[in-house]
Structure 1
Amino acid sequence: MSKNKHLCPCGSGKRAKLCCGANAVPTKFVLASSEKLELREAAEALAAKGKHQEASEILERLVKISPQNPLIWNDLGIQYEAAGRTEEAFSALRRGHQADSTYPPIWYNLGKFTLDRFIRLYQSGEMTEVHKEELLKRAIQFLDGNLDRDPENADAHYNLAIAYAFCKDEHRAKAHMAVAVRLGSKYEVPSDWLL
């Protein structure tokens, strides 16, 4: 008798009752690791060609098989966002965060997408002061959460600098921009960014 018969078929390594429970995909539908890898590579290839909708369809299949895998939820969120499906992107990222709240890329993408949403609304003039503060606060919390787990993420430091600039917190904005420039060779301090 197999010692692993009670493990969740999603591949998390946890017991089925504690992992996917009633949502667990029956074992006969579980793909081998090599098949999952092939599907992920196919999704990456489609994304590289700008075919984000097709890439998201592959990732949707994968997430049904491995609903507790934060990496797949994160990739799905990125593809949804690239396809212009912003609300679905946030939903996928939140599901990934529920699956594993320690996975740094999800924290980063939740922060980045929230900041991007803020900037779009800010530029369109469709935002109240309360909504502005709420979005910036959430973006900063997510980006800080990412840096707690991945302190060398230049992108997170850069986006935090932008968020703090919008908050008129010049000290923190400059500090994070300096770290972003030091860590990431692609970053330069934007002109007039604190105005």
Structure 2
Amino acid sequence: MSDKNKHGIELMKEGKYEEAAKAFHSALEENPDDPVIYVNFGNLLELVGEYEKAMGFFDKAISMDETMAPAYYGGGVVFYKLEQYDDALDLFQEAIKRGLSDGDSHFMLGMSFSQLGDITRALPHFQSAAEKNSEDVEAWFQYGMTLGKLNLFEQAITALENVIELAPDHADAYYNLGVAYLYKENIQKAKEMFAKAIENQNDHLLAHNGIKKINEIQESTETND
């Protein structure tokens, strides 16, 4: 990797996008046949919302080396942000097929399936993402949410508890734990989880509504008794 390419990556990580663009431009002048530089420049353009230009760089990288898995991944991110989920899905699958089988690739593939309403096919990719990036809060959360949607509540609880362990203030995780416990008919535990959601986000309307419904159920039970 050229020094200018490395410098461009460092500048991009620091949020110095204009300087990074100059570094990548210089790197390409020195090494116009290096597909890696095109991928990095494409990643930069995607970050700043220049999606059409970014795709041009990813396509160029692929035309130079069709095994360039990060170029497929970068293109997938662009299509995902443009809400073209079918196209995104194709490119994330291609990235994985070409060897980029990391947590991020599986997570984005899971998100693409999820956006298309295919949660059954999303599930194994969220599971892979969570297993490969064991401290990725969002991967565990999406995995837990998807398990819940598939009525796999025991597994959903385990996954969402991992979220809480990693991010103790994750109000949505507490809320979804509450929902899972409700389905398991553990009303007291559900109420505790909804309360924890509110403790961490006072305006969590769904959690407030959950407690309200539980109170109504308990009052109705007491009246009938």
Which residue among 40, 45, 52 is the counterpart of 1:87? 52
Tell me the alpha carbon deviations over residues 36-88 of structure 1, each in whole angstroms, 9 at most, x when there is no partner. Answer: 72212321232132111211122122223323211100000111122332221
RMSD: 2.0
In structure 2, C-alpha distance between the alignment counterparts of 1:116 and 1:83, rounded to whole Å: 12
Q: Which has the higher helix share?
A: 2
The answer to whether residue 65 in structure 2 is matched with residue 73 in structure 1 is no
Q: CA deviation at 1:146?
A: 0.6
In structure 2, C-alpha distance between the alignment counterparts of 1:151 and 1:101, rounded to whole Å: 13
The answer to whether residue 113 in structure 2 is matched with residue 164 in structure 1 is yes
Structure with more relative contact order (C-alpha pairs < 8 Å, separation 6 or more):
1
Counterpart in 1 of 2:132? 183
- Letter of the structure 2 residue corresponding to residue 153 of structure 1: D
**Contact kept? 1:152, 1:183, Cα under 8 Å:** no
Which residue among 71, 76, 95 is the counterpart of 1:111? 76
In structure 2, C-alpha distance between the alignment counterparts of 1:171 and 1:157, rounded to whole Å: 14
Q: Structure 1 length as normaliser, TM-score?
A: 0.67
How has the CA–CA distance of structure 1 residues 38 and 151 changed in structure 2, closer, same or farther, with 3 Å as cutoff? closer
In structure 2, C-alpha distance between the alignment counterparts of 1:104 and 1:155, rounded to whole Å: 13
In structure 2, C-alpha distance between the alignment counterparts of 1:70 and 1:179, rounded to whole Å: 28
Structure 2 stretches lacking a partner, 5+ long: 151-225
How has the CA–CA distance of structure 1 residues 151 and 62 changed in structure 2, closer, same or farther, with 3 Å as cutoff? closer
Q: Structure 2 length as normaliser, TM-score?
A: 0.58
In structure 1, C-alpha distance between the alignment counterparts of 2:109 and 2:52, rounded to whole Å: 22
Q: CA deviation at 1:192?
A: 4.5
The answer to whether residue 18 in structure 2 is matched with residue 53 in structure 1 is yes
How has the CA–CA distance of structure 1 residues 151 and 58 changed in structure 2, closer, same or farther, with 3 Å as cutoff? closer
Moved over 4 A (4+): 191-195
Structure 1 stretches lacking a partner, 5+ long: 1-35, 119-134
**Contact kept? 2:39, 2:70, Cα under 8 Å:** yes
Which protein is bigger by CA-based radius of gyration? 2
Tell me the alpha carbon deviations over residues 97-146 of structure 1, each in whole angstroms, 9 at most, x when there is no partner. Answer: 1111111111111112211221xxxxxxxxxxxxxxxx222111100001
Q: CA deviation at 1:176?
A: 1.1
In structure 1, C-alpha distance between the alignment counterparts of 2:116 and 2:2, rounded to whole Å: 42
In structure 2, C-alpha distance between the alignment counterparts of 1:168 and 1:155, rounded to whole Å: 20
Deviates more, 1:91-100 or 1:80-89: 80-89
In structure 2, C-alpha distance between the alignment counterparts of 1:60 and 1:160, rounded to whole Å: 31
SS in 1 for 2:49: coil
